Chains A and B, each alone.
Chain A
Amino acid sequence: MPTLTRWHLKAGLIYFVLALLLGLGFRLQPVADLPEQIHNFRPLYYHFLMVGWITQIIIGVSIWMFPRASREYPRGDARLGWATFYLLNAGLLLRLFSEPFVNEIQTDIFAIMLFFSGLFQWGAALLYTLNIWSRVKLK
């Protein structure tokens, strides 16, 4: 299994666990008298599941399994692949440390973090699409 795929899959599993921990927190909030602000993490829960876990697993496995791009570079451009990984995960981490707090604490730093979070995640989707497109081909 290529190194990049392993990193995507392991990162995906971490997001899966984090998402489920958040889900557990939402359920425990009324029972364990946790602060109501925990529900500010709800968008993060959905994006950890859909982007951090599912989309990242898809990216990792497709890099491994899809038809090879060429004899010389069977898995396409490795630079695009690694850039996708770092942008996607940096974007998600920026989201983790800004999105739940942006309405509670008035500071420009969270707006800046959200800007780059959106830009990085979009950049990851673009680079992945560019890298994998030619590998989606007739035999």
Chain B
Amino acid sequence: MPLLSVVLIRTSLIYLLTGFSLGTLLLWQKASLMPLEVWRFLPVHLELLTYGWIVQLVFGVAYWILPRFNTSPVRGNQWFVWITFFSLNSGILLMGLNGFLPNPDLWALVGRGFELLAVLSFGLNIWSRIKPFAV
């Protein structure tokens, strides 16, 4: 497995644990075991699990598994995927935590912008790898 895939997938596993931890607290609030204030973490729970766990894991596995080129670099320009990693995680943190920052709407916009950059960057790497094996 290439280094970038290790980084993306292990990071996604950290988001899985963190997201599930928040989800457990929210579920416990429904049982009146936690204060109502925990619902402030619902957007964080959603963001960590959709983009942090699912999307990031998909990126990591796709970068590893999709057909490789016959010449180096066999998985395309890895810098696009490093940009993906840093942009995606910056975006996730900003989208999840913007409710706790001054000017939350601005930070949400910046966060989504980072996530869009991450997807575009990943697309630039992966597009030409969606090909028949022999090419």
Contacts and interface: CB of A to CB of B under 8 A. Distances in A.
Contacts of B5: 136
Interface string A33-72: 0000000000000000010001100100000001100000
Interface of A: 50, 54-55, 58, 66-67, 95, 99, 102-103, 110-112, 114-115, 117-119, 121-122, 125-126, 128-129, 132-133, 136-139
Contacts of B28: 114-115, 118
B80 interface: no
A136 B1 contact: yes
Q: Do most interface residues of chain B lie in helix, strand or loop, or is the interface mixed? A: helix
A132 B13 contact: yes
18 contacts: A50-B49, A50-B50, A50-B54, A95-B27, A99-B27, A102-B30, A111-B32, A111-B33, A114-B30, A117-B27, A118-B28, A129-B13, A129-B17, A133-B10, A133-B13, A136-B6, A136-B9, A137-B1
B4 to A, nearest CB: 11
Contacts, number: 69
Given A66-B1, A118-B24, A125-B16, 11 more contacts: A55-B16, A58-B54, A67-B1, A95-B27, A99-B27, A99-B30, A103-B30, A118-B23, A129-B16, A136-B13, A139-B1
Interface of B: 1-3, 5-6, 9-10, 13, 16-17, 20-21, 23-25, 27-28, 30-33, 49-50, 53-54, 57
